[in-house]
Structure 1
Amino acid sequence: MLDDFSVHGAVLRRYSRTVSKLSAGDADVVARFQQWLQARGCAVSTVRAYATVAVEFCGFIGTRGALASLDGMLVDAFVATLAGYQAKTVEHKLCAVRSFLRFAQGAGLVGSAVLEAVPAAKSVKGARVPSVWDPGDVRKILEAIDRDNPCGKRDYAIILLITRLGLRGIDVKRLEFKDLDWPGNSISVVQAKTGRRVTLPLLKDVGWALIAYIRSGRPITDCPQVFVRHTAPIVPFSDQDHLYQILIKHARVAHVPLGEKQRHGMHSLRHTLATRLLEEGTPIEAIAEILGHQSVASTGVYLKSSLKLLTQCALDPDVPVRAVTP
């Protein structure tokens, strides 16, 4: 943190996500930017994600002046803070900054030169192989969770929801009691990313895990969300909390090796479910429906994460190649 401060002259938002750095004027600009995105029909997830980057950008600019004094050198300084992020993350942040500056230019807040100063970050869509867990390691993690204490009951239910139903972490965090249809044995949520409602069967093991947490683990609170923090104040998880620490904690207890080059967030459990379903021969359309993908093209990427499926695509070197007639 101190090293970054010496280089950039600011405590970067990655270290202080809960601290607001915006003045009233900058907060108003970000709010107007969100309205601008909504008016252009951007998805709810895009509006939220771009606004988060806009807050980071304005917070950084605020340490060195104001939006009115923004120039190319200051844009370059912000871009330098992205060193070390994954290429996909850098691309996303630069797209968000470019969109924000396009809005700011139209509102007369900045000049056209600053928009041209944002570099392009090219990436190949679908180039990254999704991170997946070995099914045996997932079982070890679930078995290692101490379900005799409240936090263990909560963590077990959260991991099981993602592992068995493929829900996104943010949808699990936002899950409310009204989303649970106990008589119909189903769970229905409006996805934060797409805004679409997805209804899934409430599997028996998932249902009992939820019941155990609600009855014997959940603190007394009026929050409509099912899952809450267990330290005061008792509130739901924030959207910025990716629950990474929960999964890693139990993986270490289970003595499951964690490779440095492999991502081990909650989303990787979703990848694991999709890969397993593909290997079992589940139609890709059905998997897309379970995961809430708007296009089966998004689901097809999981073919790359399965060696079993990739071997079926391999060519037999002993089979002669037929000549192609022009």
Structure 2
Amino acid sequence: MKETLPPVAQGFLAYIELEKRYSRHTVESYGLDLFQFFHYLSAHYGELPLTKLTHFHIQSWLALGLEPKYPSHSKKKQPEPVTPATIRRKISTLKSFFKYAVRKGELAQSPMAKVVSPKMRSRLPMFVDEKAMQQVEENHAEGEQLFADDFEGATQRLIVALLYQSGMRQAELLGLTHRSMDLSNSQMKVLGKGNKERIIPLSQPLIAMIREYDERRRKEAGNTESGQLLVRADGKGITKAFVYRTVRAALDRVTTISKRSPHILRHTFATHLMNNGADINAVKELLGHASLASTQVYTHNTIEKLKKVHQQAHPKA
């Protein structure tokens, strides 16, 4: 896909990957956006030089050309729904790209000045309530175990515990190694977005779970040369798909919320902290947010809880 893009676009993707150190997922998303954009331009305007691009061409693509045209080797199988969030992300991609092109002298100015992003309707992040998460942690729901007693069940249980008790991202979980753990100091090191490291504290029950798991891994798992902390029964490192299936299966048993992905456990971690009086700046550091604005969304859930308490308890509510 990258090879079909203009050289300046290829240079941009190399720049955000090697110099800006964006995640592989982000680089792939930017690359797909640019592939779709230049594919549309070629199909409708022929060999249009970059210097001839105007806001008209960009708005035309945003209005008419967002039907995904994936290259044959793309992993994406389903069309991406064209929502305001999708349009905003694609505009963000183009803004970054044209800013790079201007800096490299390919353009005198960016054509994005007159392109306006659609307004987003703010949505409160979904989360799992505390009683449901207690069932998951106790490995017991409706009279049945959630996780099996075998090694794979132990891996699945630790996956959910780490995501919920630390608020880490799925990619950060997959990057955990034995060197990430400093159990003697009750903490672990996580490599987040932009290769930024942060320290997350570990509770004593979670430390005990990690120690027990590590002992079982040495006895029961196969060759564990992957270096990952969490492995399958054959010793190979866990995958993104395995983590998703694990979380989905566990949450299916305890909640009816529509989204039951690993990221929901990150929302749940932050919401439960805020609802129990945690300082927002501390939550920001634990989540690895670059800006406090990203963390403030969780205060809305706290406010909604306060409103409910007020309505139920105050005589004048």
The correspondence for 2:67, drawn from 80, 84, 89, is 80
**Cα separation, partners in 2 of 1:78 and 1:28, compared to 1, 3 Å:** same
TM-score (norm 1): 0.68
Alpha-carbon distance between aligned partners in 2 of 1:112 and 1:150, rounded to the nearest angstrom: 58
Alignment of 1:59-78 (within 5 A): 60=36, 69=47, 72=57, 78=65
Aligned to 2:179: 178
Alpha-carbon distance between aligned partners in 1 of 2:210 and 2:182, rounded to the nearest angstrom: 12
Alpha-carbon distance between aligned partners in 1 of 2:159 and 2:268, rounded to the nearest angstrom: 15
Shift of 1:208: 2.8
Deviations for 1:117-144, whole angstroms, at most 9, x for unmatched residues?
A: 996432348x221111111122233414
- The answer on whether the counterparts of 2:128 and 2:255 sit within 8 Å (CA) in structure 1 is no
**Cα separation, partners in 2 of 1:97 and 1:266, compared to 1, 3 Å:** same
Secondary structure class of the residue paired with 2:81: coil
Equivalent position amino acid for 1:200 in 2: I
**Cα separation, partners in 2 of 1:53 and 1:286, compared to 1, 3 Å:** closer
Equivalent position amino acid for 1:208 in 2: A
Secondary structure class of the residue paired with 1:79: coil
The correspondence for 1:34, drawn from 1, 8, 13, is 13
Alpha-carbon distance between aligned partners in 1 of 2:208 and 2:16, rounded to the nearest angstrom: 41
Aligned to 1:258: 256
The correspondence for 1:55, drawn from 15, 26, 31, is 31
Alpha-carbon distance between aligned partners in 2 of 1:146 and 1:207, rounded to the nearest angstrom: 19
Deviations for 1:161-213, whole angstroms, at most 9, x for unmatched residues?
A: 1211222221111111111113222211232x254322222222222332343
TM-score (norm 2): 0.70
Equivalent position amino acid for 1:123 in 2: K
Unaligned runs of 5+ in 2: 69-78, 140-144
The correspondence for 2:296, drawn from 300, 308, 313, is 300
Equivalent position amino acid for 1:184 in 2: N
- The answer on whether the counterparts of 1:76 and 1:118 sit within 8 Å (CA) in structure 2 is no
Unaligned runs of 5+ in 1: 1-21, 320-326
Aligned to 1:222: 225
Equivalent position amino acid for 2:202 in 1: L
Equivalent position amino acid for 1:138 in 2: M
Secondary structure class of the residue paired with 2:296: helix
**Cα separation, partners in 2 of 1:273 and 1:318, compared to 1, 3 Å:** same
**Cα separation, partners in 2 of 1:27 and 1:258, compared to 1, 3 Å:** farther
Secondary structure class of the residue paired with 1:199: strand
Secondary structure class of the residue paired with 1:51: helix
Deviations for 1:272-320, whole angstroms, at most 9, x for unmatched residues?
A: 2222222222222222222223343332221212332345788x8959x
% identical aligned pairs: 20
Alpha-carbon distance between aligned partners in 1 of 2:234 and 2:91, rounded to the nearest angstrom: 36
